Amino acid sequence: MKTQQRVFNRLLGDKSVFLLTSTTVFLFAAGVNVALAEEPPSSDLISSSTQFVDSLVKLDLAGAVGRFDSTMKSAMPEQKLREVWQTVQQQVGPFKSRLRTRVEKSQGYDVVFVTCQFALADLDVKVVFNAHKEIAGLFFVPSQPEPDSFKPPPYAMAGAYRERNFTVGSGEWSLPGTLTLPVGMGQPVPAVVLVHGSGPNDRDETVLANKPFRDLAWGLATKGIAVLRYEKRTKEHADKLVVADMSQFTVQEETIDDALSAAAQLRQTDGIDPKRVFVLGHSLGGTVAPRIAQSDPNLAGLIIMAGATRPLEDLMVEQTRYLLSLNPSAQAQATLNELLADVAKVKKLTAADASSSASILHAPPGYWLDLREHDPLTAARTLRQPLLILQGGRDYQVTDADFAGWKKALASRPSVTFKLYPDLNHLFMPGEGKSKPAEYMSPGHVAEPVVTDIAAWILKTNPAP
């Protein structure tokens, strides 16, 4: 049995730290055959995976594609694989060496992770095998540090909060999450729903060695505020989306619907003040936060962290040029030229293209048209809720230009608060000099002043009339 190959290949970095406006690193997904592996992974699969990577490095694309199953060969022929490999190296620098391998079983598939060192970051080449030992899926994902390397931020007091499982939504798109609750509060507490940036984020919005949503949850709960975070739909239900008709997939299905469900469910949760449920959106989550509030007038307010005000495709070009300035090369320039050509296609899209299942910049035309039709500044002007808008001064993914856009559009509203943190990057973590992708490899935490400012703003915000 074969899958219908309609893949939503997202290179959208609020899952791409290295390219786009998100907090997660890029993901290239090229489809998975449904023939499941039944025997334990063997050394043959490890050997096949490392040889596949070696073929990529040598640009032996025929040899690499020769290991694919029929679906993969159709989805990612030699030229497409060349483009993927070039884009990977544009984002994280030239390949340096293979470091190690590990094997996992995932939903019946054999998966080999080949950890590779590039000039700017370590990545796992995730190779998925079917029962015939053919490559049925290919991903490039952040190389994760050991679990015990994730240390709590110094402002999080373990005894001040407790966590429990929380399911967002119901039915086929339900999402596992975590509700972090303050301990010892004698009255219902305010609560915040955390909304991810673009890309298949987990509930902690993990970026290499960092977990900004976990920092926010533990830090805010220490200060008496409940926090709900959950797996993003494009992560939890990636397999379903592979075979779905993505022509109608927009940010509404990707992000907004689940945030609305989360907020509605919190209002029905014991210990939560239903009149003080807030939404905090980061990166793409911040960009669409005004749309979430338009659909839910009962929200007490919005916190927008590094929300873009300009078209996403324009930010892609700006970010790529920035990365080019850090690591110039002829190959990188070629990648930029291809990007510019695709951006031009996005700009030319019309309503007649909305039902197309073709992919431009790793998303269907309807996705881009939906973003174009919903300007975040126009939406924000219609809101009655108070807003807190935060920006890092060292952020190269969403920049001061976007922050200026919020300020200009909402300057006349006394219920909007703006805060700029000059030394913080896109994850609201401190650093010095030009922000670079490699800094996400070092463990850090959301800066304490950010957590303090968010908590103080929430606690002083009165319920909407």
Q: Within 13 Å and on the Cβ side, how many CA atoms surround 441?
A: 15
Asked whether the beta carbons of 317 and 343 are under 8 A apart, the reply is yes
* 16 catalytic residue (yes or no): no
Length of the chain: 465
Catalytic residue of the set 22, 55, 283, 435: 283
Sign of the torsion formed by the C-alpha atoms of 67, 73, 79 and 81 = negative
Give CA torsion, residues 255, 256, 258, 260, to 10 deg: 160
Asked whether the beta carbons of 226 and 189 are under 8 A apart, the reply is yes
CA distances from 268 to 20, 166, 191, 465 (A): 36, 12, 12, 19
CA distance 453 to 69: 52
Please tell me whether residue 198 adopts helix, strand or coil conformation: coil
> Which amino acid does the sequence have at 153?
P
CA distances from 439 to 353, 374, 434 (A): 39, 33, 10
Asked whether the beta carbons of 428 and 447 are under 8 A apart, the reply is yes
* 362 catalytic residue (yes or no): no
Neighbours of 355 (CB within 10 A): 12
Structure-token match 């053919």, residue found? 134
Asked whether the beta carbons of 395 and 306 are under 8 A apart, the reply is yes
Please tell me whether residue 388 adopts helix, strand or coil conformation: strand
Q: Within 13 Å and on the Cβ side, how many CA atoms surround 23?
A: 32
* 426 catalytic residue (yes or no): yes
Catalytic residue of the set 395, 402, 435, 445: 395
Q: In what order do the strands lie in the sheet with 135-142?
A: 95-106, 109-118, 122-129, 135-142
The contacts found for 80-84 with CB under 8 angstroms, 24 or more apart, are: 81/56, 83/338, 84/28, 84/140
Asked whether the beta carbons of 301 and 386 are under 8 A apart, the reply is yes
Asked whether the beta carbons of 362 and 10 are under 8 A apart, the reply is yes
Q: Output DSSP code: residue 463.
A: P
User: What single string gives the DSSP state of each residue in 32-86?
Assistant: --S----SPP-HHHHHHHHHHHHHHHTT-HHHHHTTB-HHHHHHS-HHHHHHHHH
Q: Write out the two tokens for 105.
A: 């079983």
Catalytic residue of the set 282, 362, 374, 426: 426
- Write out the catalytic residue numbers: 283, 395, 426
